[in-house]
Structure 1
Amino acid sequence: MLALARALLNEAAPAWWQDARRRSLLEMAVALHDFGKATMFFQEALQGERRKDAFTRHARLSALFFLHRATAWLGEEAEGHWLPLLFAYLAVLRHHTSLKNVADELHPPDEAEREVLEAQIQAIPADKTNAYLAALDLPEEIQAVLTFSPEAFQSWLGDEASTLFRTWRRRWRGWKRETQDAEGYWAFLTGFSALLDADKLEAGAKGYLPSRGDVPSDAVDCYKARVFGPPSVEGLNAMREQAYREVLAGLRSPDHHLYTITLPTGMGKTLTGMATALKLRDLVREKTGQAPRIIYALPFLSIIDQNADILEQVLAVALGLTEGEAPSASSPDPCDPEDRGKGLVENRLLIKHHHLADVQYRVQNKDADKIEEAVRELDYAASRLLTEGWHSEIVVTTFVQLFNTLLAWRNAAARRVNKLHHAILLLDEVQALPAVYWPLVRNLLTEAAERLGAYVILMTATQPYLLEDAHELVPNPHAYFSVLDRLDVHIHLERRTLEDFVADFVPERGKSYLFMVNSIAAAQELHSLLEDALDEDVAFLSTGVTPKERLERIRALKAGRYRFAVSTQLLEAGVDVDFDVIYRDLAPLDSLVQAAGRCNRNLRAGRRGQFHIVHWIDDKDCSYAHRIYDPVLLARTQTHLEGHTHLREPEFLDLLRDYFLDVWETGIPWDVADALWEAVCTLRFDGEKDKACVLKAKEAPGAYLSQFCLIEQQPYKWDVFVQVDERAVAVWNEAKAILRALRRDHDVWKARERFARIKPCFYQYVVSVALKPETAPHWDDDLRIYVVQQDVRDVYYDSVTGFKREQEAGGVFL
């Protein structure tokens, strides 16, 4: 394991750990992190002869033995190296658990713990242990003190440990008062991450640890030439090509670490952003000799799957893994066993990671005779470890996973921190980050660039100015926004009921319409009104509809099979649909601009889109917008829209700059971001305490990192599995069969593996809704989830509008 940790540190250790003494302390900690497993208590539990208890725990014993020997090695230098000594100790102490507030860790063992530790020490065979310690690959000066004496260790615990921890408490208080940045935070987490990652890989994937892979820097060019042919010389495709070339031309050296790409919706940011990241990767490799990983983060699962599929196609074409035509653009069906493992690209080059992603890791099959057999899938344990550890050149993931890694307090997230070192962080649709966290995001990304050498690229049509010193790669973004004049914006801020709106609505022949509302309850009501008024089918999209059906309907919209559609904010960003006319209920200005990107998106010849901003209310005169959005952001939006009744697209987009500056100055509750940033700088993790999300806390000051929540949990919502078709029934029965097998065989890992195989399909039939206890569907005690069984489906679920409102608690959800 020590060799693995050294390899990780050689690739990912920041300057802080490059000091010889600090590095030696960390390597010593890695070597001794499992020392406590030498007790007979642990060995008996390992053989199934003893139940796990306080005597079988090994982390605290290992951490204290490390301190015992490290202070002996350092001697008088221990005082000057107190901080790396503390960080190395904490890395061992918490290598199996979430991180706690560091200030709470600075206490020696109490009397009860001492009794356990003394029993553990006496239960360690000294001769065998010293033979093991002598064989460790550590410097001679460390090996000279690396001996285990039960008497000496117990004496140290009784005398010197208390003094050391007392000194640490005094030092830590002073350090917290003086620290103004996150240098210590990144130093600790990168060292901790190396230990965690090496430990996991050694245990479950050592034989499969992939070597670094080569991704052609011209991969996107190859794909574009293959799929699209010669560059277009007119229309929107010509503008896309111009933007693509200008962005790449603007990236000449890796001297900058902070970048933005600001382009209107529909301008091909996915391919442009990836081409930029690949070129930057090549420039960094030329300068440093090491190619950075690319971590591509997006806000929504739907566009993650869509963009990951596109990137796999890009690599398949560039690497010559396809025969004949370019691969299909359609995403694999997670419920179709034939679609599993069809990918041709090794996962050391590209992985997709989110909580519902299929856990599979493909490697090169050297014995393959056919292209379709060029890769093979590793076993579940290795696949999971390599995927969750981001062992790939390109990682496509969620904002949640990225920011849980940047603000790591969980063991699993902290393991990935070493992958941030010198990485290219490509963030798409960054305006989707909650405004309350903007100052925190600015600090995190800026310090990641400074402390970890990371490169940050923010992509969106609506830049919220997250990075103050970023280098914009589009020479003149305004030129694209001013030329790309695709639509007219009509502003109607007078409050109207849905009934009144539909009564006056007269569609124009030959035009398509999208109605975007702020809640499912409003969407269902509007859909009913429109279906009564129109002699055509109206598509419906919301999170009350199962993901499987949502995907099918989005594909139908793209194919033009519906003229009318009602949707919540699902279609707001990243989804490639195109309508002639959009009516969008009032929302913060950046959301309105994103919604407008679905209007005349492809700049069809001879047409101008019509985008209407409306303000819908219910029959009690309550605004749907004010139930969902921050009233401060809505007030600023209305202020910037007032006085306008009609704007062309460039004029509408011009409002954004002043709006964002306004939000930065007066619209953000800085106490939340400041409290979390203070927690970063002072290593206030507290991952073992059950505290509310900081957004729900009465007072933000004193918050812990464990209180960060990018997506605020809604405790009144419950997951419901809906048996909408025979395939849903089959996957439900399979999940039940897995549970029955677990009870019979008691094989937890096998059960986890089997469920991981069906998990992506299982959640294609799950909706998250508010429920009334008296009308909730059946609760399944085995799978711990509500289920709408097929024979009562029509009671709870409408085949068009999804989960029925009369079964919901309150009726207002997204």
Structure 2
Amino acid sequence: MTDDFINSFNLISHTEPNRKLIVHLGEAYNKAKKRLDELDINFDLLSISHEQFEKLLQITVFCHDFGKSSIYFQKKILESLTKGKEEKEKKLSEHGLISAFFGYFIAIESFAFDKRVASFVFMAIRYHHLDLDNAETMQTVDKEAINKVLKIFEGVKKNSSEVDAMYHHFLGINGIIENFGTFLINNFPHDEIEYLEKFFWFKDEYQNNDIFIFMLLFSLLIYADKEDAIFRDRIADKIQSHTIISSKVDDFKSEYFKTRDKTPLDNVREKIYQNIVDEFNSNEIIKNKVFFIKLPTGAGKTLLLYKLAMQLKEEQNYQKVFYLLPFITLIEQNASILKDLLEFMGINSNDNRVFLEKHSLDLATLIRTQK
């Protein structure tokens, strides 16, 4: 895409820096395709050919942020909706479900995939935007969700010329907005919305390796989307270098708990913290490079381990320290505290080039399982 072509589009996908939606979708697909080409997958073992999967990947990546073209999302991202705005307007800026429906529509109407395979696109896009539990949840929609999709689509139609041009460029399809509108009307007639619960359900039709196809599609989407969000090719601003000092954890801990009355458990936590830090500082620990901490929930491990990780980086001149967590809930809990800690150190944790909370399936594990 030339700069003149890109500049003919106005829709944006991210705020820091302003990122054109057409650029984000194009770069995300390039990253997903490059990653796919690096993988050694024997498609002869699957129920889909390599060419068919590439087309599914195109549809999924190009459609995953379709809903961002609505006037509601554009208003949110351009004006950064404040808490004072109406909740209704905020909800209409959501874009996950309408993007999932759009990808499903493209797969069946424009490229003649059957509904079973098209459901992979729907679930990959929807799961990408939400933390959903299982396939049944991903495939279920209710009256409120459908009505919201229909209202968001009215907002998309306000930008129909640009959206039509964008998808003609990516997928060679003409008049996409009009056709998608017909699809929504046919599938969600107003007098039947009250009774809809599941949009589709292929539990008995899925084949043995369909889970691998879906997980591969989803993993490539989330990898490419996050990769593009962090490492944007057109970023003009350089990321500022930051110094992380382990002693700041002690200051943060004091500040964090100063507004609450100390309990006997707090005193126990403090003793544990100091004893382990002292033990960690002994020469024997550094020499052996093996250190086990076995403590119950609530004993203060989170800040303690951040302290030790930062101290290791300082004293051993490590470039990287890996902090591994086994569950998504733990990732979210630790990420929340780490963000507060970084902010305390004067580091902008909202800059996703510096801090990005991410949890997804490992592609290498999927490939080994498939083989």
Normalising by the smaller structure, the TM-score range is 0.5 to 0.7
Cα separation, 2, equivalents of 1:343 and 1:383: 22
Identity over the aligned pairs, expressed in percent? 16
Q: How does 1:768-807 map to 2 (within 5 A)?
A: none
Query: Cα–Cα, structure 1 residues 101 and 352, in superposed 2: closer, same or farther, change >3 Å?
Result: closer
Q: Does residue 353 of structure 1 match 2:298? A: no
In structure 2, the gaps of 5 or more residues are: 1-27, 190-196, 235-275, 281-285, 292-304, 326-330, 340-348
Q: 1:73 and 1:380, CA in 2 relative to 1: closer, same or farther beyond 3 A? A: closer
| Structure 2 CA distance for partners of 1:92 and 1:159, relative to 1, 3 Å | same
Letter of the structure 1 residue corresponding to residue 165 of structure 2 = A
- Paired residue type of 1:117: V
Contact 2:312/2:318 (CA < 8 Å) preserved in 1?
no
Corresponding residue of 2:73: 42
157, 162, 169: which one aligns with 1:128: 162
Give the Cα–Cα distance (whole angstroms) in 2 for the partners of residues 40 and 56 of structure 1.
8
Counterpart CA distance in 2 for 1:205 and 1:328 is 37
Is residue 194 of structure 1 aligned with residue 165 of structure 2? Answer: no
- AA matched with 1:201: E
Counterpart amino acid of residue 132 in structure 1: M
Inter-partner Cα distance in structure 1 for 2:150 and 2:30:
31
- Number of the residue aligned with 1:119: 151
Contact 2:116 2:205 in 1 (8 A): no
- Residue 204 (1) aligns with residue 149 (2): no
Are residues 153 and 37 of structure 1, via their aligned partners in 2, closer, same or farther at CA, if it must alter by over 3 Å? same
Distance in structure 2 (CA, Å) of the matches to 1:83 and 1:31: 20
Number of the residue aligned with 1:152: 179
Assess if the C-alpha contact under 8 Å between 2:139 and 2:199 holds in 1.
no
SS in 2 for 1:156: helix
Separation in structure 2 between the aligned mates of residue 92 and residue 6 of structure 1, nearest angstrom? 17
Say yes or no: does 1:22 pair with 2:50: no
AA paired with 2:324?
H
Q: Does 1:340 align with 2:313?
A: yes
For the 8 Å contact 1:59–1:96, the answer to whether it is kept is yes
Indicate the residue corresponding to 1:420 in structure 2.
Answer: 365
Kept after mapping to 2: 8 A contact 1:190/1:417: no
SS at structure 1 position matched to 2:128 = coil
CA offset digits 1:507-528 (Å, max 9, x no partner): xxxxxxxxxxxxxxxxxxxxxx
Max Rg structure: 1
Q: Which residue of 2 aligns with 1:32?
A: 63
Q: CA–CA distance in 1 between the matches of 2:362 and 2:309?
A: 34
Deviations 1:178-219 (A, max 9, x none): x5x5x22222122111111211222234469xxxxxxxxxxx
Against the structure 1 CA distance between its residues 21 and 167, is the aligned structure 2 distance closer, same or farther, given a 3 Å change threshold?
farther
1:343-362: per-residue Cα shift (whole Å, max 9, x none)? Answer: 55655xx84423569989xx
Letter in 2 for 1:69: I
Structure-2 change in CA distance of 1:205 and 1:187 (3 Å): same
Structure 1 residue 70: deviation in Å? 2.1
Looking at structure 2, the residues matched to 196 and 13 of structure 1 have their Cα atoms a distance apart, in angstroms, of: 19
- RMSD across aligned C-alpha pairs, in angstroms? 4.1
Match of 1:89 among 116, 122, 138: 122
Provide the C-alpha distance between the structure 1 equivalents of 2:188 and 2:52, rounded to a whole number of angstroms: 21
Higher relative contact order (CA 8 A, sep 6+): 2
The answer (yes or no) to whether the contact 1:33–1:92 under 8 Å persists in 2 is yes
Q: Which residue identity does 2:149 align to in structure 1?
A: L
Judging by fraction of residues, say which structure has more strand: 1
- Note the C-alpha offset of 1:35: 0.7
How big is the shift at 1:90?
0.6
Q: Tell whether the 8 Å contact from 2:67 to 2:94 is kept in structure 1 after alignment.
A: yes
Task: Tell me if the contact between 2:98 and 2:149 (Cα under 8 Å) persists in the aligned partners.
Answer: yes
Structure 1 residue identity aligned to 2:75 = E
Question: Are positions 1:74 and 2:111 aligned together?
Answer: yes
Aligned partners of 1:36, 1:13: CA distance in 2, in Å? Answer: 33
Contact 1:41/1:56 (<8 A) preserved: yes
Relative to the length of structure 2, the TM-score reads 0.54
**Change in CA separation of 1:173 and 1:133 when aligned onto 2, cut-off 3 Å:** closer
- Map residues 564-579 of structure 1 onto 2, 5 A cutoff: none
**Displacement after TM superposition at 1:41 (Å):** 0.8
Shift of 1:147: 4.1
Shift of residue 74, structure 1, vs aligned partner: 2.3
Offset at residue 379 of structure 1 (A): 10
* Matches of 1:187 and 1:13, distance apart in 2: 14
Q: CA contact under 8 A between 1:12 and 1:421: conserved in structure 2?
A: no
Task: Decide whether the 8 Å contact of 2:123 with 2:139 is kept in 1.
Answer: no
1:54 aligns with 2:81: no
Q: How many residues align?
A: 246
Q: CA deviation at 1:95?
A: 1.1
Q: Give, in whole Å, the separation in 2 of the partners of 1:175 and 1:43.
A: 39
Contact 1:13 1:191 in 2 (8 A): no
